[in-house]
């Protein structure tokens, strides 16, 4: 047989055998080195374990706090004195009155609704009574104020400016002793 058609299953020649042995030896040494590195590698610090009863206890405590909050956790809502509520309401109504008068001077007629004159504050209602007469009604909490355009402006203003600015401490509006 030719050397070209040699049987591959035949035992390797001595030079080839030493090459195979060297390669196998290198692989085995590398494997040993990797095993040694794996065994001496720094392991991640273990996370401290939580006792299994703690999460349900915390959940129940959270639900209890949500359902029955202690008085310490409930904020105390400050109340606005009725005189200050009335003064603020009167100031809002004065602003609306001014906008209605501006609308009247521009267009020569009263608006059908407050939406025509601009932004409408909460608690203030507008009613057109006739061509030149209208009524503003306001409500803030338990305080109500009614103003008709035929009344003097001083009646609507009362001492609202003084109360709002803090100058006067004796209101003359609703709730005041006459």
Alpha carbon of 145 to those of 28, 90, 135, 169: distances in Å?
A: 98, 7, 11, 19
3-state helix, strand, coil in the chain (%, to 5): 45, 10, 45
- 158 touches 173 (CB < 8 A): yes
- Measured in degrees and rounded to the nearest 5, phi and psi for residue 127 equal -130, 125
Which of the 8 DSSP states describes residue 2?
A: -
Q: Which two tokens stand for residue 169?
A: 């401490």
* pLDDT score of 69: 87
User: Residue 28 CB: number of other CB atoms within 10 A?
Assistant: 10
Sign (positive or negative) of CA dihedral 168, 172, 173, 177:
positive
pLDDT tens string, the chain, 178 residues long: the values are 455 555 555 565 666 667 888 888 899 999 999 888 887 766 666 778 889 999 999 999 999 999 988 888 888 888 888 888 888 888 888 889 899 889 989 988 888 888 888 887 788 899 888 878 899 998 988 888 898 988 888 878 877 777 777 765 444 444 444 3
| Residue extents of the structural domains in the chain | 82-165
How many Cβ atoms are within 10 Å of 113's Cβ, its own excluded? Answer: 10
> Given phi > 0 = left and psi -120 to 50 = alpha, else beta, which region is 132?
alpha
């Amino acid at each position: 047989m030719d050397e070209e058609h040699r049987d591959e299953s035949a035992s390797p020649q001595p030079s080839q055998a030493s090459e195979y042995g060297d390669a196998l030896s290198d692989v085995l040494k590398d494997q040993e080195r990797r095993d040694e590195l794996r065994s001496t590698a720094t392991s991640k610090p273990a996370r401290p374990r939580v006792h299994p009863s703690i999460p349900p206890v915390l959940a129940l405590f959270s639900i209890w706090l949500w359902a029955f909050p202690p008085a310490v956790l409930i904020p105390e809502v400050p109340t606005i004195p009725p005189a200050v509520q009335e003064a603020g309401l009167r100031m809002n109504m004065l602003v609306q009155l001014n906008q209605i008068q501006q609308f009247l001077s521009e267009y020569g007629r009263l608006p059908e609704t407050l939406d025509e004159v601009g932004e409408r504050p909460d608690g203030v209602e507008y009613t057109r009574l006739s061509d030149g007469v209208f009524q503003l009604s306001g409500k803030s909490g338990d305080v109500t104020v009614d103003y008709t355009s035929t009344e003097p402006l001083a009646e609507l203003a009362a001492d609202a400016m003084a109360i709002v600015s803090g100058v006067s401490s004796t209101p003359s509006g609703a709730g005041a002793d006459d």
